[in-house]
A and B are shown apart, each in its own frame.
Chain A
Amino acid sequence: MNRQQLRQAILEELAGIAPDIDTANVSDNARLRDEYDLDSMDALNLLTALHQRLGISIPERDYARMYTIGDLLEYLGEQSEH
């Protein structure tokens, strides 16, 4: 899965959790929690959805360091290469 496909997957799952987000205009550098008002349960639901879709389980300690879609992309990109 290339970066573009990965990004698409993240945005689709994000839209499922927060339908009000305009995913066509999401910036990779925007902070998910602050800019898109995701709370800890939204975040956990996003991780669950990504786990089911990509088979990658992001540990909580790692997720705590991910603030943006860009961070997520980088992490998932590395993991899917292994």
Chain B
Amino acid sequence: MSDFVMPSLGADMETGTLVEWRVAPGDRVRKGQVVAVVETDKGAIDIEVFEDGVVEKIYVDPDAEVPVGTPLARIGAGTDARQAGIESSMADAGAEDGGDAKATGRLKPESESESEPEPEPESEPASRPKTEAQRASRPGHGVPPASPAARMRARETGLDLADVQGSGPDGAIVLKDVEAALPDTEIETGARRRRAGFDATEMRRTIAAAMSRSKREIPHYYLATTMDLAAAESWLDNYNHDRPPAERILLSALFMKATALALARHRTLNGHYGDDGFVPADTVNVGMAIHLRGGGLVAPAILDTDTLALPELMVRLQDLVQRARDGGLRGSEIASASATVTALGERGVDSVWGVIHPPQVSMIGFGRPRRQPVAIGDALAVRLAVEVSLAADHRVCDGHLGALFLGEIERQLQQPENL
């Protein structure tokens, strides 16, 4: 039994507005099932549950804006149907006092979530380290538990966290509490940032916040090299030749896969940098920077990119782009990227120098694949080639590793049949 909580869908997200429940008390849910829709500054995001079970109680009503980490519903074991039925009627009865549940949504209702083993620790890397950091900092040190954003804001503004009343889970101090303790002018900025609903201005603000933080905190280093695509092009031509459009593969799928395999080999570039320093991710979830028609940018991830065969990866890529533009991105896709690829070459530029998306530590950029003169042995040949760049976090690794990493991507691209 455990609580299903408001997930963190990005480094700068402090609250989310629950807009819709897709399940009701008594419903059986499966791991990965979309159970709720949450409105964030990235638009409406589908939120999945990370375990099998039965929805026993819903704590938060639609339209409620709650801090990240707030329990939204209780998911029980529900191992037999009879129990599920009983729990269901209990939950229905409990639903009467919905207003009460909403008011107490911040409280941790039961103690079970602490003792229950988490089935999928790798599923929410963005929120996990935060929780652990809170636990680690709690006892004995006189430091109140606080979210990283709250701590950062307190540092920025010179506020002592000991003077702040926490309203998060277990009394943790969240960004909202820090802002409440600040003078009026500061609150206004925060209130504007927390406004729910998607619009271009809001998205621009989100991008501005994340990128400013990146440039402020992350000491980027940059490397680039030109990679020969002759082998990849010829393999792709051959693969696509007799296939209908629906089954064809694009070069960008090869780029994603080659990058994922290189990340799997060089784990120091694949993970998140939090309050406790760098934590490598257990899985390789490559984020894909997707330009939204009409303005804006999102970078949802393809989970376990390194394990997917190219045709499957291609289908996922198309699906991801479609959902990024039409809505229906999932929480796990938004929050779990362990590194990001940007392929701006589609727009006709030869190279792109990425800005790392915190808390990630690397951004890989693919420029425009184009035919160019290349020395092959003693002769000059015209080959399809692409400039690939790496922006990486110098707090985590050095250019030496970055060079090995780019070399690995190049090696992978020379053997497209093995991708």
Q: Which residues of A are in contact with B by a Cβ distance under 8 Å?
A: 18-20, 37, 39-41, 44-45, 47-48, 50-52, 57-61
Chain B residues with Cβ under 8 A from A50's Cβ?
Answer: 245
Residues of B within 8 A of A (CB): 237, 240-241, 244-246, 248, 250-252, 293-294, 317-318, 321, 346-347
CB-CB nearest in chain B for A48 = B245
A19 partner residues in chain B, CB cutoff 8 A: 293
CA–CA, A61 and B245, complex, Å: 12
| 9 new A-B contacts at CB < 8 Å, known A19-B293, A47-B245 | A20-B294, A41-B317, A44-B318, A50-B245, A51-B245, A58-B245, A60-B241, A60-B248, A61-B237
Query: Is A20 a contact of B321 with CB atoms below 8 Å?
Result: no
Q: Is the CB of B245 within 8 A of A20?
A: no
Residue of A19, A37, A40, A52 ringed by the most chain B CB atoms within 10 A: A40
A60 vs B350: C-alpha distance in the bound complex, in angstroms?
23
CB distance from B118 to the nearest CB of A (A): 36
Residue of A nearest to B295 (CB): A20
Q: Among B244, B321, B347, point to the contact of A57 (Cβ < 8 A).
A: B244
Q: List 22 A-B contacts (CB under 8 A).
A: A18-B293, A20-B293, A37-B293, A40-B250, A41-B252, A41-B318, A41-B321, A44-B245, A44-B248, A44-B250, A44-B318, A45-B318, A48-B245, A50-B245, A51-B245, A57-B244, A57-B245, A58-B245, A59-B241, A60-B240, A60-B241, A60-B248
Please provide the 9 A-B residue pairs with the shortest distance between their CB atoms, ordered closest to farther: A47-B245, A48-B245, A39-B346, A48-B246, A57-B244, A51-B245, A20-B293, A60-B240, A40-B250
A13–B246 Cα distance when bound, in Å, is 15
| Bound: A57/B243 CA distance, A | 9
* A50 and B245 alpha carbons, distance in the complex (Å): 9
Q: Which residues on B sit within 8 Å (CB–CB) of A61?
A: 237
**Bound: A51/B243 CA distance, A:** 12
Tell me whether chain A's interface is mostly helix, strand or loop, or mixed: helix
In the complex, what distance in Å separates the CA atom of A51 from the CA atom of B247? 12
A47 CB contacts on chain B under 8 angstroms: 245
Q: What residues on B are CB-neighbors of A51 within 8 Å?
A: 244-246
- CB proximity of A76 to chain B, nearest CB, Å: 13
**B245 neighbours in A (Cβ, 8 Å):** 44, 47-48, 50-51, 57-58
- Once bound together, how far apart are the Cα atoms of A32 and B76, in whole Å? 53
- Give the chain B neighbours of A44 by CB distance below 8 A: 245, 248, 250, 318
CB distance from A69 to the nearest CB of B (A): 17
CA distance A37 to B317 in the complex (A): 18
Q: Which of B246, B251, B293, B294 contacts A40 (CB 8 A)?
A: B251
A41 near B244 with CB under 8 A, answer no
B11 to chain A minimum Cβ distance, whole angstroms, is 27
Closest A residue to B346 by beta carbon equals A39
Q: Which of A18, A57, A61 has the most CB of B within 10 A?
A: A57
A80 CB to closest chain B CB (Å) equals: 16
The chain B residue sitting closest to A47, CB to CB, is B245
What's the Cα separation between A50 and B244 when bound, in Å?
11
Shortest A79–chain B CB gap in Å is 14
Cα distance, A60 to B114, chains bound together (Å): 55
Q: Are A40 and B244 in contact (CB-based, < 8 A)?
A: no
> What's the Cα separation between A48 and B243 when bound, in Å?
11
State in angstroms the CA–CA spacing of A54 and B241 once bound together.
Answer: 19
Shortest Cβ gap from B368 to chain A (Å) = 11
Q: Which of A41, A44, A50, A58 has the most CB of B within 10 A?
A: A41
Please name the residue on chain B nearest to A37 by beta carbon.
B293
Chain B, residue nearest A40 (CB): B250
Bound together, the chains give a CA A13 to CA B293 distance in angstroms of 16
Contacts of B251 in A (CB 8 A): 40
CB distance from A58 to the nearest CB of B (A): 7
- Looking at the assembled complex, report how far the CB atom of A42 sits from the nearest CB atom of chain B, in whole angstroms: 9
Nearest Cβ distance between residue A33 and chain B, in whole angstroms?
A: 9
List the A side residues contacting B250 at CB < 8 Å: 40-41, 44
B293 neighbours in A (Cβ, 8 Å): 18-20, 37
**In the docked arrangement, what's the CA distance between A5 and B250, Å?**
30
**What is the CB-to-nearest-CB distance from A10 to chain B, in angstroms, rounded to a whole number?**
14
